[in-house]
Structure 1
């Protein structure tokens, strides 16, 4: 197959540094692959972690094009696609054209905003499946969502409400995060701005309407220990992140006395079909207005500076590279 005219890509040349914008010849499509013209590629925490060289995937081979997911067009259809960029050798979504195994594509509904689908993407997949598949959320249950100012947390608040949760208590550290959690539809919002377990536990006790059934936890650390105290006997806590700490002071006596279920979740365990079904659900909820998230778009030329801001924690919004 002949190559198309040169386009653009973000090339990460050194772990820990922002990528550079470079000219990029469209790759040939290999066996079973199709070429996707990229519409939107989000800069996600996983991209930043992989590119840092400090993830459990190891130091990535450089240079490479980052981007573990994206939205584009193939064969006249809007599609979502994943990549293994930063986790295994190969290039990702932050290029004008990428070669993707056709079996990995998820066709999107015409009504779904492709940039918003990209902004939510695997974060909303994690929120959905951690609530339902791992957490067993049932209609009428009460849910606590930690880290509710982030993309996973905001999606979890909206999805829990849509699934029939009778009450959703959201928690976030920053004032802006708490505002986003409230805008997502939380019934009550808790300030996580304390390192004292007893103080945070008291805040949760005041916010819940009787014991909670499920905690969705992208943060761990002290907040997880405090939220766990608000669970009913037999309640569940699903952990899918550790931004507040790799360890948590959850006590053995609490686990045993309330027979709590502490569960882990990662998108990495999903089969292709599970992931595709979840992405299709996210896209459908974007199309019908159930799911949205504040985000910003940047051009490829502005992407290196935007990447640096994201890596430094200088923005609370999901940033999407959109040519």
Structure 2
């Protein structure tokens, strides 16, 4: 079969040939229809992740969409790059049957591949971890990214009263606006905590109840100052920095909560339920995310594209 192959950690994969995998006990063979390139794929293939350097050559791809022998479309995860074994960026994948999630008829496989675990993180960081209540005001940082775009839409679908977004690039700001943000605040290179906090408060027109934060760093410290007493900030990434200049006084004075979120904590049942909800929203036309589709033969040039979520069609 055709497959993307990482031969050397730190180098992009190349298109090549790989034996069709043989399913083990409890596994099934899927014909892959779409698989996204995610930040986790790049991290694992770099050889610098906390999982350690993977044995090479291997097929990357920690998630994808495929079709069973009976024609049923499913979303599936893999542990490629984290444990020995191949992933989704190939024509076929052998996966644990219990981990697959059946998809609605007619849903766009490329869109589900683009949303995938990023949308799961957005959904559960908002609702399970962030305890979003109907009518609450939400601030989404990094709203031009895949998690951010999904979070804006999913917050509104969950009953948020309004969503304020913040994004760095002009394209990201436009994506956040298209996703449904009431106001989009530009994040600028020279931002300081006080200045950005002032701009966020002004744009929001009052305190917010919940912040979804895939950035950390200065944006998180600024967003913390926009929260109402008892408000929550849920962090699920560090794209703007591994540390943030948080101050004690606002935390104590507002009895604020800072919460961490990771998909790694999810049970298979919780992940499946979130994926089913996401696929239902997507099939109904209520949830989308900007993405670019490429052929497997273009994997090397597409590997480091970060301006869009890249979906590979094997």
Q: Report TM bin, short chain.
A: over 0.9
Greater mean alpha carbon deviation, residues 57-66 or residues 35-44? 57-66
Greater mean alpha carbon deviation, residues 50-59 or residues 64-73? 50-59
Q: Which runs of 4+ in 1 moved over 2 A?
A: none
Please say if 1:191 is aligned against 2:191: no
Q: Distance in 1 between matches of 2:106 and 2:225?
A: 42
SS in 2 for 1:249: coil
Q: Distance in 2 between matches of 1:138 and 1:125?
A: 18
Of 137, 156, 163, 2:158 maps to 163
**Corresponding residue for residue 312 of structure 2:** 321
Q: 1:100-139 alignment to 2 at 5 Å?
A: 100-139=95-134
Q: Distance in 1 between matches of 2:253 and 2:82?
A: 40
Q: Distance in 1 between matches of 2:276 and 2:162?
A: 26
Q: Distance in 1 between matches of 2:248 and 2:51?
A: 31
SS in 1 for 2:93: strand
Per-residue CA distance 1:55-86 (angstroms, 9 max, x = gap): 22222222111000000100210010000111
Per-residue CA distance 1:107-157 (angstroms, 9 max, x = gap): 100131111000000000000000000000000000000000000000000
Per-residue CA distance 1:178-233 (angstroms, 9 max, x = gap): 01000100000011113311110011111113210000000000000001100001
**Corresponding residue for residue 35 of structure 1:** 29
**Corresponding residue for residue 274 of structure 1:** 270
Please say if 1:223 is aligned against 2:219: yes
Please say if 1:86 is aligned against 2:89: no
Structure 2 residues without counterparts, runs of 5 or longer: none
Of 281, 284, 291, 2:280 maps to 284
**Corresponding residue for residue 17 of structure 2:** 23
Q: 1:116-265 alignment to 2 at 5 Å?
A: 116-193=111-188, 194-265=190-261
Structure 1 residues without counterparts, runs of 5 or longer: 1-6
Residue 26 of structure 1: how far off its partner (Å): 0.9
Aligned residues: 312
**Corresponding residue for residue 12 of structure 1:** 6
**Corresponding residue for residue 306 of structure 1:** 302
TM-score where L is the length of structure 2:
0.98
SS in 1 for 2:152: helix
TM-score where L is the length of structure 1:
0.95
SS in 2 for 1:219: coil
**Corresponding residue for residue 4 of structure 1:** none
**Corresponding residue for residue 51 of structure 1:** 45
Per-residue CA distance 1:292-316 (angstroms, 9 max, x = gap): 0111111010111100x32xxxx41
Please say if 1:66 is aligned against 2:60: yes
